[in-house]
Amino acid sequence: MDRGKFFWFRDAEFAQQTLAGINPYALQLVTEWPIKSKLDPEIYGDPVSAITKECVERQIRGYMTLEEALEQNKLFVLDYYGIFSKNGFLIM
């Protein structure tokens, strides 16, 4: 809290809380691009993620390219589907 009232809005704090949180296993290494869902496309629609290369590189802020992040195993996504679902239905 010494870092400011909204310190928890920052990406670094979100990442720290995710890793230290109740289920860090929701983090998945991105191994291919574009990201594609493994869910049934007839039920859930287009499996290709709406996350673009430009979106990722904007977040990386010039530190590296998307390709470099993939090669160095430094790109992760949070996948909560398997945590909050059973038989394809979200459990709330």
In a domain, 6, yes or no: no
pLDDT band for position 72 (cuts 50, 70, 90): very high
What are phi and psi for residue 77, nearest 5 degrees? -125, 155
* Average pLDDT value for residue range 11-16: 78
Q: Answer yes or no: is pLDDT of 90 > 60.
A: no
Q: Answer yes or no: is pLDDT of 27 > 80.
A: no
Q: Answer yes or no: is pLDDT of 83 > 80.
A: no
Cα distance between residue 30 and residue 60, in whole Å: 15
In this structure, the number of other CB atoms found within 10 A of the CB of residue 13 comes to: 13
The number of angstroms, rounded, from the C-alpha of 84 to the middle of its chain's C-alpha atoms is 15
DSSP class per residue in 35-63: -B--S-HHHH---B-S--HHHHHHHHTTS
Domains identified in the chain, total number? 1
Q: Answer yes or no: is pLDDT of 50 > 60.
A: yes
In a domain, 10, yes or no: no
In a domain, 83, yes or no: yes
CATH of the domain at 79: 3.10.450.60
The percentage of residues in the chain with a pLDDT greater than 90, rounded to a whole number, is: 28
In a domain, 47, yes or no: yes
In a domain, 63, yes or no: yes
What is the span of the domain harbouring residue 60? Answer: 25-90
Please calculate the CA angle 6-64-15 and round it to the nearest 5 degrees: 30
In a domain, 17, yes or no: no
Q: Answer yes or no: is pLDDT of 87 > 60.
A: no
Q: Answer yes or no: is pLDDT of 11 > 80.
A: no
In a domain, 42, yes or no: yes
In a domain, 41, yes or no: yes
The CA–CA distances, whole Å, from 44 to 1, 35, 76 equal 40, 15, 22
